[in-house]
Amino acid sequence: MRRAVAIASIAALAASACSQEAPPAAPVVEADPVVATEAALDPVTGLKMTGDWEIVRANCTACHSARLITQQRGSEQQWLTMIRWMQEKQNLWAFDPDTEKKIIGYLAEQYPPSDAQRRAAIPPDLMPPNPYSSET
């Protein structure tokens, strides 16, 4: 008899629990808008690991530290000018057009001009004479 009463009590509790209204739903919280994040940095070179960074790493760090890249800023034209200078003065090999386009695009996008980075070069006509120059 006790068993029957216990079972009946449990059944009554279960039935009353099922008949109660569900708790109110939690309010919907809208997510913050997606904020652009900086690309992860390559732990070896410090280059931003996005886009064609591996092409830049393979071609540029063959001759110099990636630090020379990461501390510079420039537009596509400025990066192209630096590459042409390296080709003329430092014997940098010529890139095929597709590779050059990818390198310049990556550099201009990831390391664009910045007012906080570097001043414009002083025009040659405003420079003092170089006492070490072989030109007279």
User: Which residue type occupies 117?
Assistant: Q
pLDDT of residue 115: 76
**What mean pLDDT value characterizes the chain?**
83
d(CA 111, CA 108): 5
3-state secondary structure of 18: helix
Q: Which residue has the tokens 């790493």?
A: 57
pLDDT digit string, tens, across residues 40-78: 999 999 999 999 999 999 999 999 999 999 999 999 999
pLDDT digit string, tens, across residues 101-135: 999 999 999 999 987 766 677 888 888 888 888 87
What is the pTM assigned to this prediction? 0.61
The answer, yes or no, to whether residue 14 has pLDDT greater than 80, is no
Q: Which domains does the chain have, with CATH numbers?
A: 38-111 (1.10.760)
- 127-133 long-range contacts (CB < 8 A, ≥24 apart) are none
Structure tokens at 15: 């039935």
